[in-house]
Amino acid sequence: MGGNSDLDVAYVARLARINLSEDEAKIFQKQLDDVLKYVEKLRQVDVTGVDEAAHGLSVFNAFRADAPRDWFTAKEALSNAPRQANGLFVVPKVVE
Amino acid sequence: MTGNELLAVSIADLQSLLRRREVSPREVIDALRQRIESIDPDVGAYLSLNFDAAVKEAEHANVDLPLGGVPIAIKDIINVMDQPCTCAAKILNGYRAPYDATVIQKLRAAGAIPFGKTNLDEFAMGSSTENSAVKSTRNPWDLSRVPGGSSGGSAAAVAADEAFGALGSDTGGSIRQPAALCGVVGLKPTYGRVSRFGLVAFASSLDQIGPVTKTVQDAALIMNAIAGHDPQDSTSLIEPVPDYVASFGNDLRGVRLGVPREYMIEGIDPQVRGAIDAAVKQLNSLGAEIVEVSLPSTDYAVAVYYIIATAEASANLARFDGVRYGYRAENPKDVLDLYGRTRAEGFGPEVKRRIILGTYVLSSGYYDAYYLQAQKVRELIRRDFASVFEKVDALISPTSPVAAFKLGERVADPLQMYLADIFTIAANPAGICGISIPCGFAELDGHRLPIGLQLLGKPLDEARILQIAHAYEHSTDWHKARPPIGSNLPKTWK
């Protein structure tokens, strides 16, 4: 259930793949309702004819040479894996 | 010279001592280790130290290189090969960096020695370092107070003479604000000036790496080493890097400084206001012309920031899912359970709040109202700065409206914590550069607490704000003050 805004913390947490406890969801709901109420002020701003800025300083067409170079070996790429076997990351079965 | 005296010197002075062979890089590392071992249990600036590797590097250091033999502390969100990089998050507990960030490669090429990783708010999300999942860092000027954040460990380490200089990262003030609260210098470069390759991404359109140092000259010396284009960061700018020290002088005649009308808000501590007023007079006495300017979109900056930063964070932090690195929840029953519990158990409350808010503002039906609107208002903020920079060379303001606050005082109310970022936060959405330098002290509960002066500059105009900051610093003694911590340590070095 949502609070004083359209945000339903428990639902959005599921979208974000975070299993929240009920207590956490309740606290976050109140805190994020406050934040959303605060950011409401942006709706008053007249932005007619203003293009959105994705960056303060935009860089266009950042090219680099399409040349092969050394990078991680499989062993290095797996060096922090919580579980691995046969040179692969191991996760629970995805498809039954 | 005692160990404490040696550790109190600037990078520039340390280089002179090293080059005159008055001290060896090994002796510097040993003195540093001794001080960290004595006082860091109280300050809590460091998350990990690697003195074994540092000693080896010190023994082969070439002191004639630009930063030869100078130990530099690194915020624990920047990858240093074979060292942990935890972002002060449980979800990266045990992670070891398999490569060096570009800034680390550049520091090494300049002869510097990265020897330890400093504490931060988890994933750099916070303004007090209290969001670290590992531990609190304390302000060296008063151990009951916060060092600021998110680069609180870097600022506290430099302030307490536990580092000659440090790297931090700044997404909305995370270098400048802790520098102000700890009484040191912190520079946020222009967006794209310094490569972020190897910086763990928080908000990719806002993040920048920059130096935290004891003096303005030291910040310039580190910038000389780390600035420049990097093919591995496609947002890094292909612009030549000037010598940031070359333009230093003591005369500010011909410089025009703007005081933004909208920054004279209620809620600025009277002692902070007094120090800033005095600093403005001082800059004026050095020859700078002071003019009042207007940044009409100021009131929207915090709201714009918390929409854009959380949106980008929600995407960037999707990679922490327990599959490839870091923490993984035990005995997951399926892959969704693996993700959901890993992230529930591995992220702290502030990170979860921001991911949830960011996911929401990007979600279908709310994207236009929140995210798109914020990106448009961002453009207005950028135009505000572009317009005033046609009239002035730099802007002056407090860095933070208040001096360091007590640990625990503000954690319960995230919005109030966000609002204190008002002076630093607009620089990041606008992409401009900014620096905080010491400009006085507030007296609170019998402690002297540093106050920071912020200078904001045009894109790629770091040389100018460093020049102004240097001239101010040269005419004052604020940067020479040292916090009381560790002053009674035994004088065992030499």
CA–CA dist B45, B49 (Å, integer)? 11
> Comparing C-alpha atoms, which of A79, A14, A86 is closest to residue B344?
A14
pLDDT tens sequence across B4-62: 899 999 999 999 999 999 999 999 999 999 999 999 999 999 999 999 999 999 999 99
Residue B55: phi and psi, rounded to 5, are -65, -40
Helix (H, G, I), strand (E, B), or coil: what is residue B333? Answer: coil
Between A15, A28, A72, which is nearest B98 by CB?
A72
Contact B424, B206 (CB under 8 A): no
- Section B459-474 average pLDDT: 98
Which chain B residue is nearest to residue A17, measuring alpha carbons?
B340
Spell out which residues of chain B touch residue A74, defining contact as CB-CB under 8 Å.
Answer: none
Find the helix packing angle between B270-285 and B462-474, rounded to 10°: 100
Confidence of residue B486 (pLDDT cuts 50, 70, 90): confident
Phi, then psi, of B290 in degrees rounded to 5: -110, 125
Q: What number is the average pLDDT over the span B120-132?
A: 97
Residue B490: predicted pLDDT: 46
B198-252, pLDDT tens digit by residue?
999 999 999 999 999 999 999 999 999 999 999 999 999 999 999 999 989 989 9
Chain position carrying tokens 């302000």? B139
Q: Comparing C-alpha atoms, which of B134, B156, B104 is closest to residue B485?
A: B156
Chain A residues 11-70 within an 8 A CB cutoff of chain B? 12-21, 24, 27-28, 31-32, 34-36, 38-39, 41-43, 45, 47, 50-57, 59, 62, 64
Better-predicted residue by pLDDT, B417 or B157: B157
Q: Across residues B373-393, what is the average pLDDT?
A: 97
Residue A4 domain-assigned (yes or no): yes
User: Does residue A76 lie within any of the structural domains?
Assistant: no
Largest Cα span, chain B: 70
The catalytically annotated residue of B128, B132, B136, B150 is: B150
Mutate to test the interface with A, among B335, B356, B413 (most CBs of A within 10 A): B356
Pairing of strands B447-457, B433-444: antiparallel
Average confidence (pLDDT) over B111-132: 97
- Residue B275 near residue B442, CB atoms below 8 Å: yes
Question: What single-letter amino acid sits at B459?
Answer: P
What does the mean pLDDT of chain B come to?
95
Average pLDDT over residues B414-436: 92
| pLDDT at residue number B493 | 40
What pLDDT, on a 0 to 100 scale, did the predictor assign at position B492? 44
Residue B372 and residue A51 in contact, taking contact as beta carbons nearer than 8 Å: no
Nearest CA in chain B to A8: B360
The rounded distance, in Å, linking the Cα atoms of B421 and B259 is 18
Whether B344 sits inside 8 A of A28 (CB atoms) is no
Q: What is the pLDDT of residue B488?
A: 59
pLDDT tens for residues B284-331?
Answer: 999 999 999 999 999 999 999 999 999 999 999 999 999 999 999 999
Please list every residue in chain A whose beta carbon sits closer than 8 Å to the beta carbon of residue B327: 82
DSSP string, B284-307: HHTT-EEEEE--TTGGGHHHHHHH
Whether A20 and B338 lie within 8 Å, measured CB to CB? no
CA B144, distance to chain mean position in Å, is 21
User: Which chain B residue has its CA at the smallest distance from A80's CA?
Assistant: B325
CATH code, domain with A18:
1.10.20
**Predicted pLDDT of residue B438:** 98
pLDDT at B160: 98
Residue A60 falls inside a structural domain: no
Inform me whether the pLDDT recorded for B489 exceeds 60. Answer: no
SS3 B230: coil
Instruction: Summarize the confidence of residues B420-449 as an average pLDDT.
Output: 96
Burial readout B141-162 (b: 16 or more C-beta within 10 A, e: otherwise): bbbebbbbbbbbbbbbbbbbbb
Is B297 a catalytic site residue?
A: no
Residue of B nearest to A83 (CA): B323
Lowest mean pLDDT among B273-287, B404-418, B469-483: B404-418
Does residue B75 carry a catalytic annotation?
Answer: yes
Domain count, chain A: 1
Residue A18 is assigned to a structural domain of this protein: yes
Which residue type, as a one-letter code, is found at position B70?
V
- Amino acid identity, position B416: Q
Is A74 an 8 Å CB contact of chain B?
no
Tally DSSP H helices, then E strands, for chain A: 3, 2
- What are the two backbone dihedrals, phi and then psi, of residue B241, each rounded to the nearest 5 degrees? -100, 120
Rounded to 10 degrees, the C-alpha dihedral B185/B152/B460/B462 comes to 0
Q: State the smallest CA–CA distance between residue B368 and chain A in angstroms.
A: 11
- Using a 10 angstrom Cβ sphere, with 0-12 exposed, 13-18 middle and 19 or more buried, the burial of residue B415 is middle
Residue B494 has pLDDT above 80, yes or no: no
The CA–CA distances, whole Å, from B472 to B237, B264, B281, B323 equal 29, 21, 11, 51
Sign, CA dihedral A55-B212-B178-B433, equals negative
Above 90 in pLDDT, residue B278? yes
- Confidence class for position B178, pLDDT limits 50, 70, 90: very high
Contact of B157 with B177, CB cutoff 8 Å: no
Which CATH number, 3.20.20.70, 3.90.550.10, 3.90.1300.10, 3.30.70.580, labels domain B3-295+383-407+421-480? Answer: 3.90.1300.10
Q: How far apart, in whole angstroms, are the C-alpha atoms of residue B125 and residue B87?
A: 10
> Which H, E and C letters describe B103-123, residue by residue?
HHHHHHHCCCEEEEEECCCHH
Tokens of B277: 């007023």
Where do we find the tokens 């900014």? B434
pTM for this model (two decimals): 0.96
Question: Domain of A37?
Answer: 1-42
Domain with CATH 3.90.1300.10 in chain B: 3-295+383-407+421-480
Could you confirm whether B169 is annotated as catalytic?
Answer: no
Closest CA to B396 of B444, B305, B465, B302: B465
Q: Pick A59's closest partner by Cβ from B98, B235, B382.
A: B235
Tokens 């993040």: give the residue: B207
> Do B104 and B197 form a contact (C-beta atoms < 8 A)?
no
Distance (Å, whole) CA B225 – CA B219? 10
* CB within 8 Å: B459 and A35: no
- Does residue A95 have a pLDDT over 90? no
Indicate the length of chain A as a whole number: 96
3-state secondary structure of B442: strand
Can you tell me the distance from the alpha carbon of B252 to that of B254, in angstroms, rounded to the nearest whole number? 6
